[in-house]
Amino acid sequence: MKKRSIALLLAVALLFTMVLSACGGESNSSSQGSSSEAGTSSAAGNESSSEAGGESSAESSEAGTGNKAAAGITTEVGTPREDTLIVECQSSTDCAGQFNTYMTGTGTGFGIHQLMSAHLWEMQTAKGHQYGEVVESAESNDDFTEWTIKVRQGIKWSDGEDLNADDVVFTFNMIKENDNIGANSYTNMYIDKVEKVDDYTVKFTMTEPFPRLDQCFGITVWGCDWRIVPEHIYSTVGDVTQFKDEQPVVAGPYTVDQYDPLGSWILYKLRDDWQQSTLGVVGAAEFGYTADQVPPKYVWFRYLGDSTTKQMAMVNNEVDVLCEMTLEELQAMTEMNDKIGAWMNEFPYANADDPGAKGIVFNCGLGAPYDNADFRWGICLALDIDALSENIFSGAGRAAPIPLLNNTNVMQELYTIPMTEWLENFELDLGDGTKFKPYDTGYAERMAQKLGYEGTEEEKINTFGAGWWKHDEEAATKLLNKAGLEKVDGKWQYEGKPFTFEMSYIADSEFQVGRGVQAAFNQLQAFGFDCTITSKSSSTWSVDDTNGNYQIAGYWPSGGNYLKDIYRPFTGFDNTLIQPVGQNSQGGYGGRWNNQRVTDILHEMANLSPEKDEDKCYELATEMLQEFVKDMPVINFLSGTKFVPTNSTYWQGYPCADDPYDGPWWWWSCFKYMLPKFTAVEG
């Protein structure tokens, strides 16, 4: 009996081993020709394995040219790997097959706006330059109440029709007339009429002087809600908000080839006539792309689930670009596969130009002491940026001293560095007859020394920032005393009572700000604040933010941009928008910070042209930033620091510190303009 049991057990084990060998063996054999370093050899050709199985081998022999690293490998969706760029999408969709971005649930970031949509204006983030995509040129009358735009000629829809003024006019009128479209309210607020002048000319009549048509109705950061639709298709649809557009006709360079009806991936295919797409026409005009710079034939956007799965997929070369990981995750991946990199190939790895400086926001709507600049400055000087930065990403990231200003490379060059003299001379009145100059330009040098970073002065400032605020507990104590707080037995009190506050952060995203708040919480507790810390989901935060249901929160309160004209990201700090706590307030991003001078500046800038009145706009913008510093409504820690992994086993040419032709923003609409730079790695 025993012998029989053992024999049975052995037989099962043998069978199991055979099954494993059968399934796994083939994949290893197809790994030839791929990168063999860092344990990736067995991983390399494996996409043709398992369930891709039978169908893949025939296709791969046909597809393989033998001179590409990915030759002979077929993806799970049946395309040759050497022709397929695989891009991570951050979420799956419940609306598979829905490509109309004017329907509410459409997953615009699932490759739709990156590859198919056409916008009036697009953004080049590395240079801080906005350029016309559908728009060839735009002119306004003297008081900016009328805009006449010329539509680029030569762009064709994927069904061969020309993109022209009819499409632009139809799109805007469709939005204006349909209050189920999200952009309807904003569009009607500023645009009175949109009319066709001729086949390639459109006239916008505004409801008020409106000098920033390009910034407000074009892209400055991620994307925008005005995507031009084909009039010859959408005009035949009864209700455009109920039209799924399952086989979209597009002006972008890719069309939908296949998609997962369960919503986990979409495969896009390069149009045969892609040179008549936005990328072909605008890419040649704006980037000088030539006909031989052909983008990947397929781009496969896939949702990869949790962070562990993403890491495993990239180490196994099953994805070429991921959206964002932590420093530790990136380092773990690079140790297992040396073809994986990021913006920089060594520490600090990250791109620090994401337009969202992370820090803490005070809810000024709660009254004293939160609405007191001395209190906020006291908190700021009690914080130690060196320790904060080390806690966030081990010192990686560029310090962002000016509140609300996203200290991207462009913004630092345009504003932070030119303001150095003012910042160095800026003084705080400590309330005891003494003054204190808080600006500290030594941060970059200190961090470089601590981390062993070698580089020129300019490189250090670019990497770690031009400066931040001094850590000075004595000055902080005096300012807090001035604000009415008192330290009794090592604990802060306000108006004779123990002073407590809650610090919150978003739990389900935003590693950077979460870690920053946790570190700040520890520092403030050590400084004698009896504070607590809590985490919230994004959806909870969106309500708490606008309703003012927080005391001090970690967030990225300034939706920045890359343009010299910084009016638009700060329009929310107009004090006329502020509502009482408990009501939805768009003002001050929910922080309800009320500064009359900032409001006056914003009103003045609103009527100035960023082009014609460039100097005046810059002067006012600088003054506004000075007001930010004086009042310290939020404390920025570091500029948006993103670890965006790329895998160069099969594809190369990603933007990076050595070739910064754009930022690594695969989830933004500008992604399409990077693709001609991506080339398949030779075997």
Residues 575-614 that bind other proteins (CB under 8 A): 577, 579, 584-587
Span from 302-310, 477-485, 515-523, 675-683 in contact with other proteins (CB under 8 A): 302-310
CB of 50 to other proteins, least distance (A): 6
Q: Give the chain's radius of gyration (CA, Å).
A: 27
Span from 149-157, 259-267, 460-468, 625-633 in contact with other proteins (CB under 8 A): 259-267
Span from 146-154, 180-188, 517-525, 526-534 in contact with other proteins (CB under 8 A): 180-188
CB of 205 to other proteins, least distance (A): 20
- Read off the DSSP letter of residue 45: G
662 three-state secondary structure = coil
Question: If binding is defined by CB under 8 A, does position 61 make contact with other proteins?
Answer: no
How far apart CA 668 and CA 430 sit, in angstroms, is 45
CB of 470 to other proteins, least distance (A): 33
Residue 346 is encoded by which pair of tokens? 């060594």
CB of 279 to other proteins, least distance (A): 22
How far apart CA 305 and CA 327 sit, in angstroms, is 19
- Report whether the peptide linkage leading into residue 369 is cis, meaning its omega lies within 30 degrees of zero: yes
What is the rounded (10 degree) CA torsion for 89, 90, 94, 95? Answer: -50
Among 559, 560, 663, 664, binds other proteins (CB under 8 A): 559
Span from 124-132, 258-266, 527-535, 657-665 in contact with other proteins (CB under 8 A): 258-266
Among 3, 66, 105, 292, binds other proteins (CB under 8 A): 105
Site string for other proteins, 71-90 (x = CB under 8 A): -----xx-------------
589 three-state secondary structure = helix
Element (H, E) at 362: strand 351-362
Q: Is the C-alpha dihedral spanning 177, 182, 186, 191 positive or negative?
A: negative
Question: If binding is defined by CB under 8 A, does position 546 make contact with other proteins?
Answer: yes
Residue type, position 552, single letter: I
Question: If binding is defined by CB under 8 A, does position 354 make contact with other proteins?
Answer: no
How far apart CA 229 and CA 491 sit, in angstroms, is 61
Give phi and psi for 467, each to the nearest 5: 165, 175
Q: List CB contacts of 384: < 8 A, sequence separation 6 or more.
A: 471, 523
Residue 164 is encoded by which pair of tokens? 């022209």
For the beta carbon of residue 587, count every other beta carbon within 10 angstroms.
21
Nearest residue (CB) to other proteins, 190 versus 347:
190
Residue 237 is encoded by which pair of tokens? 């649809």
Element (H, E) at 469: strand 468-469
CB of 549 to other proteins, least distance (A): 7
For the beta carbon of residue 543, count every other beta carbon within 10 angstroms.
12
Site for other proteins in 491-520 (CB under 8 A): 508
- Read off the DSSP letter of residue 248: -
Among 20, 58, 368, 526, binds other proteins (CB under 8 A): 20
Site string for other proteins, 453-492 (x = CB under 8 A): ----------------------------------------
Question: If binding is defined by CB under 8 A, does position 309 make contact with other proteins?
Answer: yes
> What's the full length of the chain, in residues?
683
How far apart CA 177 and CA 423 sit, in angstroms, is 49
Nearest residue (CB) to other proteins, 224 versus 404:
224
Among 30, 34, 46, 412, binds other proteins (CB under 8 A): 46
Among 160, 238, 261, 288, binds other proteins (CB under 8 A): 261
In terms of Cα–Cα distance, which of 382, 177, 147, 282 is closest to 673?
282
CB of 655 to other proteins, least distance (A): 23
* Alpha-carbon distances of 670 from 135, 180, 219, 273, 650, rounded to whole Å: 15, 27, 9, 20, 22
CB of 351 to other proteins, least distance (A): 20
Among 29, 104, 235, 449, binds other proteins (CB under 8 A): 104
Nearest residue (CB) to other proteins, 64 versus 572:
572
Question: If binding is defined by CB under 8 A, does position 544 make contact with other proteins?
Answer: yes
Among 307, 540, 551, 626, binds other proteins (CB under 8 A): 540
Contact 376, 362 (CB under 8 A): yes
> Roughly what angle, to the nearest 10 degrees, separates helices 307-315 and 327-336?
30
CB of 450 to other proteins, least distance (A): 35
Number of residues that bind other proteins (CB under 8 A): 77
Span from 179-187, 372-380, 625-633, 646-654 in contact with other proteins (CB under 8 A): 179-187
Q: Is 94 exposed, middle or buried (0-12, 13-18, 19+ CB in 10 A)?
A: exposed
Site for other proteins in 182-241 (CB under 8 A): 182-183, 185-186, 189, 216, 222-225, 241
CB of 260 to other proteins, least distance (A): 7
Nearest residue (CB) to other proteins, 145 versus 264:
264
Among 110, 200, 204, 265, binds other proteins (CB under 8 A): 265
Q: Which residues share a beta bridge with 139? A: 148
Nearest residue (CB) to other proteins, 39 versus 418:
39
